[in-house]
Structure 1
Amino acid sequence: MSAAHLFLGLGSAAGFGPLIADISHWFQRRRGIAVALVASGNYLSGAMWSTALAGMLADSCWRSVYATLAVVTLLVVITLSVVLRRRISLSAQSSSAAMSAGDAARVGLTPRQLQWILGLDGIGSCVAMSMPQVHIVAYYVGLDL
């Protein structure tokens, strides 16, 4: 079971970076808000799934909840990947690259320094927040109070 979770984590990590990079090219204005919404989507979905599947958890075991989540997630991801297949225009890509270059010049950090800072920030925030926020609703639903 631990190996399965390892592969799930690696798959999530491998998909998260490209997702954030891709979403940043889709928006010319309010790009930071778009990236923040995509990055915090797992917290929102954790709250929504727990509430939506509370009745199933009360009536059956956790395995059926996981199976339902797997099927629904697979269907939604495949459907959205077909819908969102459209490529970004070259003019939008070049405009986005020019804006990013201007922003990078104003920050005053090398790409390597920025990568280290973002990596340390990610580790610090993820370690502190990983389990409680994602699983607190499911924990309370399973408590038979």
Structure 2
Amino acid sequence: MKAAFHLSLANLSSRHPFHEHRRRLVINGEHSATVIFGDEIDGVYRFGSLHLLITRYDYYDGVSHWFSVLDQQGKILDMASTPDYFGFIEWIEQPSQDSLRFGFFGTNDIWQVRICTEGEWSFKLSDLARRWNRYFSSKRHLFFSCEQRAA
């Protein structure tokens, strides 16, 4: 049986240069060294031995959403974001064992994210887009696609 994996976020010191929109990851009540983009957790989903953490930061002009793949120790293996929207994630469903589909409030966009537990090398522009620089040269665990829902 695997140990429970409870995640929460803690404020960073006000001396941290990005303390307003980043938080320290707390795993099972213990502060980790991992710093996450966003100030609220939207969801945690398990895919094999990995966890997908969805966070957001709501600012005046929109909402930023980040998707982070974590190992069992809370280390970020891959991270990407969607474009900023003026709303929250309205619905989420899991159509298969390795993917999530979701939509944002007030849009016709339907996003799908596929999680590859082993990671894959890919340098396609669509796989590099919206990725933080430090994850450019590592295996991809997150693969996004977006389509328009018929109005």
Place the TM-score, normalised by the shorter chain, in its bin: under 0.3
Q: TM-score, normalised by structure 2?
A: 0.24
Q: Which has the larger radius of gyration?
A: 1
Tell me which protein shows more helix as a share of its residues.
1
* RCO higher in structure (CA 8 A, sep ≥6): 1
Q: TM-score, normalised by structure 1?
A: 0.24
